[in-house]
């Protein structure tokens, strides 16, 4: 996730949404300041109470930074102190405005509104969704729970390439030292099938199925319901540095599942119905996620709890962390059987509180839907175009 890499249902299966992806060249200025006449009319389809909570969490993040730390909004820069004031002003306007029309007028008068250039230079954003899965498990292995969730190994090192060249600003690699030199870290196959981390006391918990471990890694966070009735919450800690490769795309390319039929449910069904192929398919994605235990969460990349429906993940190289945003897209209508029966447009204020390795470029946004299968179903179907705006007080 972002840290929640991150984050992978239908959209992720097809295009990814975890912590890893091929590099996408960043545009010079991903945000463009809009003239007042071009600022959209605002709407907000979720309750303001939850929005206030999400805003307070971004303010919490800002207060941990120096007051003069600068955030880039297109051609402009704003200090942490200014962003805190901007958030407080927005909360004041929420209380003062009698309706959305009045709130729109107030925002146009007092705020600068920046639009993402999107994937095409015209503001087109691909929206996908992610969620926090919940699985049964154990803190000790047994006949039922045999597949471990690992914490970060102490031999996993992160190398900042900017130290070697200014042209590599923001670029890092993950590796290990094998006694003679630095080499890539272990692959999924080496970890899961060759036991390269076994016997090192790195196991946090154990799940019943390798499929559940795989998709929990894809989402980047989750809850483990233990046998004694307690819950263990795990969150993204580190990544092995290996490339993310979509197993959904693999099965589509092989003609096993039709693109129009691909879903998280269909993919899991195939893996469970074809156990002899499972290992080879899962190992196609060499990327591996390590976890840490957290008290609350799931946590985004700014280390605050995500708010369902109101926290988004974007490319952290491009967009200001913690920023107030306005999102417009479509969301699925789900019936009682979990089937999508239609789509409706939605728009709301939200907060940029997470990132993802496959969320690259100015044209990608991942929306956090919440916890459990009730959130996982719509998250897994979301794959629609929309718009993205950032707001900051003038």
Q: Which residue has the higher pLDDT, 302 or 162?
A: 302
81 within a domain of the structure (yes/no):
yes
Residue range of the domain that includes 316: 2-131+298-393
Mean pLDDT of 371-390: 91
Taking only Cα atoms into account, the Rg of the chain, rounded to an integer number of angstroms, comes to: 21
Q: Where are the alpha helices (DSSP H) in the chain?
A: 2-5, 10-15, 48-63, 80-96, 100-110, 188-192, 210-219, 247-253, 264-273, 275-283, 373-381
Which tens digit of pLDDT belongs to each residue from 198-249?
A: 999 999 999 999 999 999 998 889 999 999 999 999 999 999 999 999 999 9
Q: Which two tokens stand for residue 294?
A: 């957290």
Domain count, the chain: 1
Which H or E run includes 115?
strand 111-116
Neighbouring C-beta atoms of residue 368, cutoff 10 Å: 31
Could you give the CA distance from residue 218 to residue 129 in angstroms, rounded to a whole number? 12
Specify whether the backbone of 390 is left (phi greater than 0), alpha (psi in -120 to 50) or beta. Answer: beta
**Nearest to 224, CA basis, from 239, 235, 211:** 235
Residue 383 confidence class, pLDDT cut points 50, 70, 90 = confident
CA-to-CA distance for 237 and 220, rounded, in angstroms?
9
Q: With 80 as the cut, is the pLDDT of residue 19 above it?
A: no
Residue 336 has what pLDDT? 84
pLDDT for 151 equals 97
d(C-alpha 381, C-alpha 12), whole Å: 10
Report pLDDT for 273: 96
Across the chain, mean pLDDT equals: 90
**Mean pLDDT for the stretch of residues 249-277:** 91
- Residue 10 pLDDT: 37
Q: What percent of the chain has pLDDT over 70?
A: 93
Per-residue pLDDT band for 107 (boundaries 50, 70, 90) equals: very high
Global pTM reads 0.83
Give the per-residue pLDDT at 275.
Answer: 95
Domain at 106, CATH number: 2.40.40.10
Give the pLDDT of residue 220: 87
pLDDT tens-place string over residues 240-261: 999 999 999 999 999 999 988 8
Of residues 372, 347, 353, 391, the one with CA closest to residue 125:
347
Comparison of pLDDT for 220 and 358, the residue scoring more: 220
Asked if pLDDT for residue 133 goes beyond 50, the answer is yes
Q: Would residue 179 count as lying in a domain?
A: no
CA distance 86 to 57: 14
Confidence at residue 26, expressed as pLDDT on a 0 to 100 scale = 55
7 pLDDT band, cuts 50/70/90, is very low
Q: Does residue 23 carry a pLDDT above 70?
A: no
Which residue matches tokens 């405005």?
97
8 A C-beta contact, residue 149 and residue 213: yes
As a whole-number percent, the residues of the chain with pLDDT over 90 amount to 79
Encoded tokens for 75: 């051609």
Q: Which residues make Cβ contacts (< 8 Å) with residue 338, sequence separation at least 6?
A: 265, 377
pLDDT band at 25 (very low <50, low <70, confident <90, very high): low
Q: pLDDT tier at 12 (50, 70, 90 boundaries)?
A: very low
Q: For residue 21, is it within any domain?
A: yes
Whether residue 263 is contained in a domain is answered as no
Residue 173 within a domain:
no
| 248 found inside a domain | no
Pick from 7-11, 64-68, 156-160, 262-266: least confident: 7-11
The reported pLDDT for the residue numbered 219 is: 86
Residue 252 included in any domain: no
User: Would 389 be classed as within a structural domain?
Assistant: yes
- Tokens describing residue 257: 């599942």
27: pLDDT confidence band, cut at 50, 70 and 90? low
Phi and psi at 362, nearest 5°, equal: -80, 0
pLDDT band, very low/low/confident/very high, at 171 (cuts 50, 70, 90): confident
First to last CA, the chain: 31
Half-sphere exposure of 320 (CA within 13 A, CB side): 28
Please compute the mean of the pLDDT values over residues 115-127 and round it to a whole number.
96
């Amino acid at each position: 996730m972002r840290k929640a890499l991150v984050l992978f249902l239908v959209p992720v299966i097809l295009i990814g949404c975890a912590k890893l992806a091929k590099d996408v060249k960043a545009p010079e200025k991903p945000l463009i300041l809009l003239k007042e006449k071009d600022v959209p009319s605002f709407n907000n389809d979720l309750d303001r109470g939850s929005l206030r909570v999400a805003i307070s969490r971004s303010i919490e993040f800002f207060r941990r930074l120096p007051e003069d730390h600068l955030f880039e909004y297109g051609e402009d820069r704003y200090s942490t102190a200014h962003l805190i004031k901007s958030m407080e002003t927005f909360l004041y306007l929420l209380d003062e405005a009698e309706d959305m029309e009045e709130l729109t007028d107030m925002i146009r008068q007092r705020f600068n509104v920046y639009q993402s250039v999107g994937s095409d230079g015209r503001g087109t954003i691909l929206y996908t969704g992610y969620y926090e899965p919940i699985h049964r498990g154990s803190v000790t292995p047994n006949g039922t729970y045999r597949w471990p969730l690992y914490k970060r190994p102490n031999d996993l090192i992160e190398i900042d390439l900017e130290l070697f060249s200014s042209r590599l600003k923001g670029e890092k690699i993950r590796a290990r030292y094998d006694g003679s030199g630095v080499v890539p870290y272990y692959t999924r196959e080496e970890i899961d099938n060759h036991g390269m981390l076994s016997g090192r006391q790195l196991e946090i918990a154990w799940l019943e199925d390798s499929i559940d471990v795989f998709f929990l890694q894809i989402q980047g966070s989750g809850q483990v319901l233990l046998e004694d009735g307690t819950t263990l919450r795990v969150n993204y800690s580190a990544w092995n540095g290996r490339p993310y490769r979509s197993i959904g795309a693999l099965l589509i390319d092989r003609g096993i599942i039709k693109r129009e039929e691909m879903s998280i449910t269909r993919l899991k069904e195939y893996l469970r119905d074809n156990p002899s192929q499972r290992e080879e398919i899962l190992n196609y994605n060499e990327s591996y996620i390590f976890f840490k235990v957290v008290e609350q969460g799931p946590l985004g990349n700014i280390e605050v709890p995500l708010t369902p429906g109101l926290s988004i993940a974007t490319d952290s190289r491009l967009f200001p962390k913690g920023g107030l945003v306005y999102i417009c897209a479509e969301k699925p209508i789900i019936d009682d059987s979990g089937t999508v029966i239609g789509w409706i447009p939605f728009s709301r204020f939200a907060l940029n509180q997470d990132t993802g390795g496959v969320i690259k470029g100015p044209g990608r946004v991942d929306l956090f839907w919440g916890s459990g299968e009730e959130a996982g179903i719509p998250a897994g179907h979301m794959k629609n175009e929309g718009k993205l705006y950032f707001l900051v007080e003038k």
